[in-house]
């Protein structure tokens, strides 16, 4: 979910956000887009720019989570235009939304653009002397994912280690788990499998201690599946990937992350049951096709 903007508003946007949270909790995903679009239209009609910006952030996050790439980037453009009209460029409000936009660009495969935007956010944080560990850790985690996408795992690990210091100090266990998961992914790419195993053990342990299942738990299970495959534990890898698929579908539906995880499961099955592996690859292709 997006970081929410605090800005002058005439609409009771908190009521909208409460309904939005309720839809997420009840898994009423079909109602989320309608709720946001109807109220966004109202906010624009009333020239309530603060509410409009908040709702654009939420809509952007929603489209990104369900892998509707073009729509997420279209909303991102509208948000930047609105912020310029509001004179927010260079402010913390601008940085909050730009972080969300950069993540949409990263999810769309535009990692170079994303890194540039994250660096803009970093500059604003520096100028505004932001010291909130959660904000800084979120920025570093997102920067690391962009560098992972660019296959620069040395830089990714650097930012993840910076994030880990912050989240360990703030006792944010869910954030620690996310950071450990991301660290493990980069360490695997560098062949540091023993360290990756330790990081993933920590991540899974922390996720299991949460009162409710984290939206990021599926990513940790998928990472564990990859590690088990690299270690030669094929049946354990299959179990991890299958549990990851359940978590991803439960939270987001059959999005791009689901397709990638299904493709990874298919690769494992090539060494166990090649025919079923081909079936899974075909299913992953159908999932990808349905996203376009």
The C-alpha atoms of residue 170 and residue 249 are separated, in whole angstroms, by 31
Rounded-to-10 torsion of CA 111, 5, 257, 209: 120
Burial 200-224 (b: 16+ CB within 10 A, else e): bebbbebbeeeeeebbbbbbbbbbb
- Whether 253 is covered by a domain: the verdict is yes
100 pLDDT more than 80: yes
pLDDT in tens, 226-264: 999 999 999 999 999 999 999 999 888 899 999 999 999
Please give the tally of structural domains in the chain: 1
The C-alpha atoms of residue 125 and residue 239 are separated, in whole angstroms, by 42
Banded pLDDT at 10 (limits 50, 70, 90): low
Banded pLDDT at 7 (limits 50, 70, 90): very low
Rounded average pLDDT over 4-33? 76
Banded pLDDT at 6 (limits 50, 70, 90): very low
Average pLDDT, the chain: 92
Q: Which helix (H) or strand (E) holds 210?
A: none
The C-alpha atoms of residue 39 and residue 56 are separated, in whole angstroms, by 10
- Whether 255 is covered by a domain: the verdict is yes
Task: Write down the pLDDT at residue 168.
Answer: 87
Banded pLDDT at 140 (limits 50, 70, 90): very high
- Whether 194 is covered by a domain: the verdict is no
Rounded average pLDDT over 185-214? 94
Task: Write down the pLDDT at residue 24.
Answer: 77
- Whether 220 is covered by a domain: the verdict is no
Banded pLDDT at 125 (limits 50, 70, 90): very high
The C-alpha atoms of residue 109 and residue 237 are separated, in whole angstroms, by 27
Show the domain range for 237: 227-292
Rounded average pLDDT over 263-271? 96
In this structure, are residues 133 and 105 in contact, taking their beta carbons and an 8 Å threshold? Answer: no
- Whether 121 is covered by a domain: the verdict is no
Q: Could you tell me the pTM of the whole model?
A: 0.85
- Whether 231 is covered by a domain: the verdict is yes
DSSP state of 254: S
- Whether 243 is covered by a domain: the verdict is yes
- Whether 285 is covered by a domain: the verdict is yes
Rounded average pLDDT over 167-178? 84
Rounded average pLDDT over 16-41? 87
């Amino acid at each position: 979910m997006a970081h929410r903007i605090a800005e002058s508003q005439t609409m009771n946007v908190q009521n909208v956000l409460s309904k939005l949270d309720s839809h997420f909790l009840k898994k009423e995903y079909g109602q989320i887009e309608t709720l946001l679009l109807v109220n966004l239209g109202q906010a624009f009609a009333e020239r309530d720019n603060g509410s409009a910006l908040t709702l654009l952030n939420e809509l952007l996050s929603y489209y990104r989570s369900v892998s509707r790439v073009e729509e997420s980037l279209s909303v991102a453009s509208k948000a930047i235009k609105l912020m310029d009209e509001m004179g927010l460029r260079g402010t913390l409000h601008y940085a909050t939304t730009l972080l969300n936009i950069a993540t949409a660009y990263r999810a769309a495969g535009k990692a170079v653009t994303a890194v540039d935007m994250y660096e803009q956010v970093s500059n604003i944080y520096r100028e505004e002397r932001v010291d909130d560990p959660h904000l800084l850790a979120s920025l570093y985690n997102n920067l690391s994912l962009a560098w992972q996408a660019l296959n620069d795992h040395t830089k990714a690990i650097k930012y993840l280690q910076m994030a880990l210091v912050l989240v360990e100090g703030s006792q944010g266990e869910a954030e620690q788990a996310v950071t450990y998961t991301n660290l493990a992914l980069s360490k695997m790419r560098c062949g540091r499998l023993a360290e990756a195993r330790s990081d993933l053990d920590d991540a899974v342990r922390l996720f299991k201690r949460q009162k409710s299942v984290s939206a990021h738990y599926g990513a940790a299970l998928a990472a564990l599946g990859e590690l088990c495959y690299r270690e030669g534990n094929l049946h354990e890898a299959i179990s991890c990937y299958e549990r990851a698929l359940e978590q991803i579908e439960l939270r987001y539906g059959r999005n791009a992350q689901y397709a990638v995880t299904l493709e990874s499961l298919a690769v494992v099955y090539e060494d166990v049951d090649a025919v079923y592996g081909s079936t899974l690859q075909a299913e992953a292709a159908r999932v990808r096709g349905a996203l376009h």
